[in-house]
Structure 1
Amino acid sequence: MTLVVAALVLATPAYAGKPVGSGKGAETEQSGGGDGTGIYAAARITYSGSVAPSGGTGNVTSSDVNWAPSPCWYAPYLGAKDFKKKMSADIKKAASAPGMTGTPGAAIGQTKAHYEDEFGWEEHPGYKDYNVEKDGEGMFWAGVENPNEPDILKRNSCTELPFWVDNGEAPPPRYKRAITPEILAALAYQHMELPGTEVTLAPDGTTKVNLPTWAWLDKADFHEVRATAAIDVPGFALTATTTAKPVSLKLEPGTPDAETYPASGECTFNDDGSIGEPYAKGKADQTPACGIKYLRSSGDGTFDLQATITWEIAWTGTGGAGGRMPDGTNTNAQAITVQEIQAVNR
Structure 2
Amino acid sequence: MNRSRRSALGVGITALTLAFGVTALTEPAYSAEPSSNNHGASTVEEGGPDDTGIYASAKIQYSGSVTKDGSTGNVTSSDVNWTPPPCWYAPYLGAKDFKKKMSEQIESAKNTPGMGGTAGAAIGEMQRHYEDEYGWTDTPGYKDYNVEKDGEGMFWAAVENPDEPDVLKRSSCNDLPFWVDNGETPPARYEEAINPKILAALAYQHMQLPDTKVSLAPETVTKVNLPTWAWLDKAVFNEVQATAAINVPGFSIRSTTTAKPLSLKLEPGTPDASTFPASGECVINADHSIGEPYAQGKSDEIPPCGLKYLRSSGNGTFKLRATITWEITWTGTGNAGGNFPNGTFGTTQDITVQEIQAVNH
Q: TM-score, normalised by structure 2?
A: 0.87
> Which residue in 2 is equivalent to 1:71?
86
> Which residue in 2 is equivalent to 1:282?
297
RMSD of aligned C-alpha atoms? 2.7
Using a 3 Å threshold, how does the CA distance of structure 1 residues 239 and 12 change in structure 2: closer, same or farther?
closer
> Which residue in 1 is equivalent to 2:135?
120
The CA deviation string for residues 304-333 of structure 1, in whole angstroms up to 9 with x for no partner, is 101000001111111111111100000001
Q: Does structure 2 conserve the Cα–Cα contact (< 8 Å) formed by 1:75 and 1:179?
A: yes
Q: Does structure 2 conserve the Cα–Cα contact (< 8 Å) formed by 1:304 and 1:334?
A: yes
Matching residue within 181, 189, 209 for 1:166? 181
SS at match of 1:108: helix
| Residue 59 (str. 1) matches residue 74 (str. 2) | yes
In structure 2, C-alpha distance between the alignment counterparts of 1:94 and 1:231, rounded to whole Å: 31
> Which residue in 2 is equivalent to 1:321?
336
> Which residue in 1 is equivalent to 2:44?
30
Q: Give the superposition deviation at 1:88.
A: 2.2
Matching residue within 205, 210, 213 for 1:198? 213
Matching residue within 229, 237, 261 for 1:214? 229
Q: Does structure 2 conserve the Cα–Cα contact (< 8 Å) formed by 1:246 and 1:312?
A: yes
Superposed, 1:1-346 pairs within 5 Å as 1=5, 2=9, 3-4=12-13, 5=17, 6-9=22-25, 17=33, 19-21=35-37, 27-35=41-49, 41-91=56-106, 104=119, 106-346=121-361
More helix by share: 2
The CA deviation string for residues 1-52 of structure 1, in whole angstroms up to 9 with x for no partner, is 323245344557765537545x9x9945233425579x99534211111101
Q: TM-score, normalised by structure 1?
A: 0.90
- Structure 2 residue ranges without an equivalent (≥5): none
Q: Does structure 2 conserve the Cα–Cα contact (< 8 Å) formed by 1:47 and 1:230?
A: yes
The CA deviation string for residues 210-241 of structure 1, in whole angstroms up to 9 with x for no partner, is 00011111111111111111111111111111
Q: Does structure 1 conserve the Cα–Cα contact (< 8 Å) formed by 2:27 and 2:59?
A: no
The CA deviation string for residues 261-311 of structure 1, in whole angstroms up to 9 with x for no partner, is 111111111111111111111111211111110000111111110100000
Give the residue type in structure 2 aligned to 1:242.
Answer: T
SS at match of 2:69: helix
In structure 1, C-alpha distance between the alignment counterparts of 2:214 and 2:152, rounded to whole Å: 56
In structure 2, C-alpha distance between the alignment counterparts of 1:310 and 1:146, rounded to whole Å: 26
Matched residue count:
340
The CA deviation string for residues 85-109 of structure 1, in whole angstroms up to 9 with x for no partner, is 222232267799xxx9x98553433
More strand by share: 1
In structure 2, C-alpha distance between the alignment counterparts of 1:210 and 1:93, rounded to whole Å: 76
In structure 2, C-alpha distance between the alignment counterparts of 1:93 and 1:278, rounded to whole Å: 69
Using a 3 Å threshold, how does the CA distance of structure 1 residues 181 and 18 change in structure 2: closer, same or farther?
closer
